[in-house]
Homo-oligomer: A and B are copies of this chain.
Amino acid sequence: MYPSLFLIPVPLGETEPSKVLPSYNREVILSIRHFIVENVRTARRFLKQTDAGIVIDELTFYTLNKYTSPEEVSEFLKPIENGYSIGLISEAGCPAIADPGADVVAMAQQKNIKVVPLVGPSSILLALMASGFNGQNFAFHGYLPIENVARTRALKTLEQRIYSDNQTQLFIETPYRNTQLLEDILKNGRPLTKLCIAADITLESEWIQTLTVAEWRKKQRPNLSKRPCLFALYK
B208:A98 contact, CB within 8 angstroms: no
User: Is the interface on chain A under 10, 10 to 19, 20 to 34, or 35 or more residues?
Assistant: 35 or more
Please, which residues of chain B bring their CB within 8 A of the CB of A132?
96, 102-103, 105-110, 115
Question: In angstroms, how far is the closest chain B Cβ from the Cβ of A39?
Answer: 19
B142:A139 contact, CB within 8 angstroms: no
Majority DSSP secondary structure for residues of A touching B: mixed
Question: In angstroms, how far is the closest chain B Cβ from the Cβ of A222?
Answer: 14
- Whether, in the assembled complex, A178 has its beta carbon less than 8 Å from a beta carbon of chain B, the answer is no
Given the interface pairs A23-B18, A129-B97, the reply to whether A139 lies near B136 with Cβ below 8 Å is: no
Please, which residues of chain B bring their CB within 8 A of the CB of A175?
none
Given the interface pairs A20-B22, A132-B109, A135-B96, the reply to whether A119 lies near B208 with Cβ below 8 Å is: no
Question: In angstroms, how far is the closest chain B Cβ from the Cβ of A165?
Answer: 9
B102:A133 contact, CB within 8 angstroms: yes
Complex alpha-carbon distance, A7 and B131, angstroms: 11
Please, which residues of chain B bring their CB within 8 A of the CB of A125?
94, 97, 122, 124-125
Question: In angstroms, how far is the closest chain B Cβ from the Cβ of A187?
Answer: 23
